[in-house]
Structure 1
Amino acid sequence: MSDPRSDAFESTVETLSSRLADHEELLLCTDFDGTLSPIVDDPDAAEILPESRAALEELHSHPSVTVAVVSGRKLADVRARVDLPSVTYAGNHGLELRTEGVTQVHPVAKEYQSDVSELYDALGDAFERERGVVVENKGQTLTVHHRNAPPAHAERVRERTARLVGQVGGETLTVRGDRQVVEVRPAVDWDKGSVVSTLERESASCLPVFLGDARTDESGFRAVERDGVGIRVGEPDERATAATEFLRSPAETAALLEWFRRTGVDRLAGRVETAAPARTPNSGDDRRPQSG
């Protein structure tokens, strides 16, 4: 892989170098689409960059590092695409969680799953003849993809989706837009940032780092804003963000993960050489996903 390093990359590395020295462990959380994988027209074609996967695999084996992939994709989908069996995965924006071989689903998401299914049927009928619009049922959530629809149709897609959500699940479901998709989720105060915060609480000595590229990743940036480092991936734009560091592309994500593997973990203070006990979310927090 050619060296893609930009000034933003070098600034990010400088920040991480100084912050790692004050911590004994690293909690490395990353989004998938647009972060580990380039954005593609067909979501089914998204693939993790091989360099990122290799670096994550080695980082996960380090006794002072916890790796978590936190995605809007459904859990089974993102697990299959990353294909590292024992790392922590959060799917459906944190409503599904798999750690230590145990899969958990948020209880409210379970309760509202029938509304999601009913809405899926309604949206399928509404957009059956709409060119470039795909409705994806992710179990606990829905995504209406309109990336390949004519740009002039985007507002109509969003408005029609919001109207149907109001009719089917006005009190149980919420609508959020991001780039060229519309996300429909259960009306519950739980997101990517909730998962990151839950994992962070397991070790007071860890440096939490979150990488993401989209508006749905802002909760992750906010979760690490006080004690860690939020890194937004993508070309600069005018969008407000809680991230403090930046990378240009998934290629720079791969370069940063390689830096962590080769250099970054060696900057941790009090680095241990033997396997540390695995950390799992706090079982006392009854708002978190439950086994299912």
Structure 2
Amino acid sequence: MTADLPGDLRAAVIELAQTPHLLVALDFDGTMAPIVDRAEDARPLPRSAAALAALSALERTTTALVSGRALASLRVVAAPPEPTLLVGSHGAEVHLGPSSAELKPSLRQATALAEARAAVAQAVALYPGTMAEQKPAGVVLHYRQASETDGQAAVDLVNQELAQNPAFTITTGKMVLEISVVSANKGEGLATLRESTHATATFFAGDDVTDEHAFAALLPGDVGVKVGQGNTCAHFRIESPHQLPAVLELLLAARTNGGTHNA
């Protein structure tokens, strides 16, 4: 219930709802959806999905998902409402509508990507419980289901194979190691969304270290909400994805009750 939210967060959300054009951008895994062992099993909490759909139907309100997932994977697990814009692969993939171009690595990037995929495949073959996720411009080593020893060994192996090559951007997240041949982050993705939609204020919620780029890109008057534990530059925090529906429902109610009437 919204009454359970911190008072300062409630006040900030209600004030944000009055902006002329609102951008509501959400991370998916660990934010809209609880973290699960198998990435393909993740689904948004029903109330969060319903609130996002309702927000996407409002005038002068743009919704977006900003995820580390590849866009193809994000579309399957999130099933976002049609107007929702998408940023995938930590900002490397951006879908702003039917005219958006598909991400295609250059020949040099494709060569480097093959090297990264080979290194991750080697780690997966050696260490039980690890798995690879393929992206258009990267590859991810997942080790949530591996033992602590095997997971760390897999990470060390991939880092040793690739860390000295400047062609790669290597980032860590919650039990994942991601290698990309395109340098991008969620902050850049959020800035692209803001520019393309002409948003006058932004709401962003995320849970992982990769979301800190997005929190850092927020402007005065925006609202950033960290989901869960960990250091953050976000001004607000909730305990888990199960509190997000209350935040989104409060934003929806406040925006419906007058926010869209401001010019």
How high is the TM-score relative to the length of structure 1?
A: 0.81
Tell me how far 1:245 sits from its aligned partner.
0.9
The answer on 1:246 being equivalent to 2:237 is yes
1:145-176 per-position Cα deviation (integer Å, ceiling 9, x unaligned): 11111113333222111112247xx1211211
The answer on 1:224 being equivalent to 2:218 is yes
**Distance in 2 between residues matched to 1:247 and 1:28, nearest whole Å:** 17
Percent of residue pairs identical: 26
Higher mean C-alpha deviation, range 215-224 or range 77-86: 77-86
Q: How many residues align?
A: 262
Q: Which of the numbers 27, 32, 35 marks the counterpart of 1:39?
A: 35
Partner of residue 260, structure 1: 251
1:254-287 per-position Cα deviation (integer Å, ceiling 9, x unaligned): 2222222223343526437xxxxxxxxxxxxxxx
Q: Which of the numbers 43, 52, 56 marks the counterpart of 1:60?
A: 56
1:78-107 per-position Cα deviation (integer Å, ceiling 9, x unaligned): 112222233101111111111222333567
CA RMSD of aligned residues (A): 2.3
Tell me how far 1:205 sits from its aligned partner.
5.7
Q: Which of the numbers 166, 188, 199 marks the counterpart of 1:194?
A: 188
Partner of residue 176, structure 1: 171
**Distance in 2 between residues matched to 1:128 and 1:5, nearest whole Å:** 50
- Which residues of structure 1 form unaligned runs of 5+? 273-292
The answer on 1:140 being equivalent to 2:137 is yes
Contact residue 4 and residue 251 of structure 1 kept, 8 A: no
1:209-234 per-position Cα deviation (integer Å, ceiling 9, x unaligned): 11100000011101114341111111
Partner of residue 284, structure 1: none
Q: Which of the numbers 152, 161, 180 marks the counterpart of 1:185?
A: 180
1:118-166 per-position Cα deviation (integer Å, ceiling 9, x unaligned): 3213321232131111111112121111111111333322211111224
**Bigger helix share:** 2
SS in 1 for 2:126: coil
SS in 2 for 1:85: coil
Letter in 1 for 2:12: T
Partner of residue 110, structure 2: 113
SS in 2 for 1:41: coil
**Distance in 2 between residues matched to 1:26 and 1:210, nearest whole Å:** 11
**Distance in 2 between residues matched to 1:110 and 1:249, nearest whole Å:** 42
SS in 2 for 1:201: helix
Tell me how far 1:7 sits from its aligned partner.
4.4
How high is the TM-score relative to the length of structure 2?
A: 0.90
Letter in 2 for 1:212: G
Contact residue 192 and residue 219 of structure 1 kept, 8 A: yes
